[in-house]
Amino acid sequence: MEGKDRNISVMGIVNLTGDSYFPESRCLGEDGRTDVGKALGKIGRMLEEGADIIDIGACSTRPGAPEIPENEEWARLRPLLEEMKVSFPQVTFSIDTYRASIVRNALGIFPYFIVNDISAGEDDSRMLGTVGDAGLGYVAMHKRGNPRTMQSLCDYADVTDEVCGYFDGFAEKAERAGIRDWILDPGFGFAKTVEQNYELLSEMGRFGRFGKRILVGVSRKSMIYRKFGITPEESLPATQVLHFAALQRGVDILRVHDVAEAVRTVALYRIL
């Protein structure tokens, strides 16, 4: 979608995990249980700061992350969703999961949400049918392999061309599954080198041909801190530079750790 007056959203990250690369985003207690109070407080602050969507993930998918059982993922999510139903019943939120069972369980609490799936349905053959049948929103992300193998699968002749080809295939799958409302995420940091991430970002305009909203998740990622030899904690200024560049190239949704700063970046983009 083109034009500075297009619908641009800021998606705030809430991690119900203990090993996110940015510790400030974590809402898991030392006992391995969700710190519901901390998570609710974070959601409240993000909404006050202008977040349009809250993205909740209970299974770490960073490179190298171990897989956790489905029952553990749901045990982390369930208490927060139940409290959100009381405290934030109208919130627009997404669940960062690649498991259809998690989606079905969550439908018992909320009738509608967005599914943010790093595998675009490839890691669970039931996912696309579940989303299509329930009429949910859906974020389809590009990756190769899994968190344990993805960083060895970065061999592309043309990274942007191959990611575009991937979404050509996904569009057909989504159509067959009855998913009309889907969002395209090129998957920064997932089976891409630092250099490939920047190549992909510089060519984001090529994804406009799909006619779908485009989501970018570059917040405090290794494409920043490894490039400059800094930490995720030191990566906020560069993150906002990349957010501005993404907006210039037609991106519609920024997935972020720092909502207030991203909201100001969107405001500056609109007036400059």
Output the pTM of the full model: 0.96
Q: What are phi and psi of 8, to 5 degrees?
A: -110, 130
Number of residues assigned to the chain: 272
Give me the mean pLDDT over the 80-101 stretch.
98
Among 186, 271, 262, 257, which residue's Cα sits nearest to residue 10? 262
pLDDT in tens, 197-241: 999 999 999 999 999 999 999 999 999 999 999 999 999 999 999
Give the active site residue among 42, 85, 255, 264. Answer: 255
Tell me if residue 38 falls in helix, strand or coil: helix
pLDDT in tens, 138-180: 999 999 998 889 889 999 999 999 999 999 999 999 999 999 9
Q: Is the pLDDT reported for residue 2 higher than 70?
A: no
User: In whole angstroms, what is the distance from residue 137 CA to residue 100 CA?
Assistant: 14
Whether 192 is catalytic is no
Q: Is the pLDDT reported for residue 1 higher than 50?
A: no
Q: What are phi and psi of 160, to 5 degrees?
A: -65, -40
Q: DSSP class of residue 151?
A: G
Domains located in the chain, CATH noted: 9-271 (3.20.20.20)
Edge-first strand order for the sheet with 114-117 is 182-185, 137-141, 114-117, 93-96, 53-57, 9-15, 253-256, 215-216
pLDDT of 65: 75
Give the active site residue among 26, 206, 221, 264. Answer: 221
User: In whole angstroms, what is the distance from residue 115 CA to residue 138 CA?
Assistant: 5
- Return the bridge partners of 254, or none: 10, 216
Whether 221 is catalytic is yes
User: In whole angstroms, what is the distance from residue 271 CA to residue 252 CA?
Assistant: 16
